[in-house]
Amino acid sequence: MTKGAVLILGGRSDMGLAIAHAFAAEGHPIQLAARGSAGLEADRADLALRHSVAVSLHDFDVLDTAGHEGFIDALPALPEVVVCAVGAMGDQAADEHDIPAAVTVMRTNFEGPAAILAAFANRFEARRSGTIVGISSVAGERGRATNYIYGSAKAGFTAFLSGLRNRLAGKGVHVVTVLPGFVATRMTAGMDLPAKLTAQPSEVGRAVLRAVKTRRNVIYVRPIWQVIMAVIRNIPEGVFKGMKI
């Protein structure tokens, strides 16, 4: 049986590529989308050779929301699964005083991803099949002084995915929210991350594949994060505002 194509938005990211490999290993054709996608030719060739699947490259700018419908129209086929792995951490301290930079972080992590997935949701709903996967973040579960610009955008994205899942229930379309926690990627390079709480990109890839297969709704790549965030969410505000976490 022919397996449906999987589109990776943010195909240059470490997590995006790891997710692509996980699905390609199962025989799914892969569509890699990113800005300057021609620069992904080596990755395209590696995926195709290693897993014996068709792999195509597609230019995509998540901030060009006016161009999203045209981007979908230009795909060789409407995918069966779309994964949004687009994201940008930004620099909290600098962005507090650089409002345009802060806006870009928020648009990159919420507005753009929500817009493109909304467009796919409408097409999947009309077809009555498909899976939407959004890579959000535990940073969105409570605003913290150290990353509230990024975290607030991810909070919005998590809420968007929840509403989308609710809307599409019973219409043949499933929505998965992925909360990775710390992941050892280029985006977190130089950060002092605790090993027991830090996943590898390949771990994220396997977790996403399992979630799609088993139709999970919300997953924490490492389950310990569900416990950690439950504790953080329940700290009284009067105590929390004096903490540095």
pLDDT category at 4 given cuts 50, 70, 90 is very high
Q: Is 150 a known active-site residue?
A: yes
Span 166-182, average pLDDT: 96
Annotated active-site residue in 150, 157, 182, 225: 150
What is the reported pLDDT for 1? 56
Domain ranges of the chain: 6-240
CA-CA distance, 227 to 1, in Å (whole number)? 40
CATH class for the domain made up of 6-240: alpha beta
pLDDT at residue number 229 = 96
pLDDT at 187 over 80: no
pLDDT at residue 196 in the model: 85
Phi/psi of residue 77, nearest 5 degrees:
-160, 150
Query: Higher confidence at residue 145 or residue 244?
Result: 145
70-108 in b/e form (b: 16+ CB < 10 A) is ebbeebeebbbbbbbbbbbbbebeebeeeeebbebbbbb
Q: Summarize pLDDT for 47-72 with one digit per residue, the tens.
A: 999 999 999 999 999 999 999 999 99
Q: Which residue, chain included where needed, has tokens 């709704």?
A: 217
**Angle, nearest 10°, between helix axes 41-51 and 14-24?**
20
Contact 188, 87 (CB under 8 A): no
Residue 105 has pLDDT above 60, yes or no: yes
How far is 99 from 83, CA to CA, in rounded Å?
29
Q: What is the pLDDT of residue 63?
A: 98
Q: Coil, strand or helix: which one is 212?
A: helix
Interatomic CA distance for residues 109 and 152, integer angstroms: 9
Q: How confident is the model over 182-204, as a mean pLDDT?
A: 83
- Per-residue pLDDT band for 245 (boundaries 50, 70, 90) equals confident
Predicted local confidence at residue 184, as pLDDT: 84
Question: Is a pLDDT exceeding 80 seen at residue 193?
Answer: no
| pLDDT value at 199 more than 80 | yes
pLDDT tens string 131-148:
999 999 999 999 999 999
Tell me the average pLDDT across 193-204. Answer: 88
189 has a pLDDT exceeding 80? no
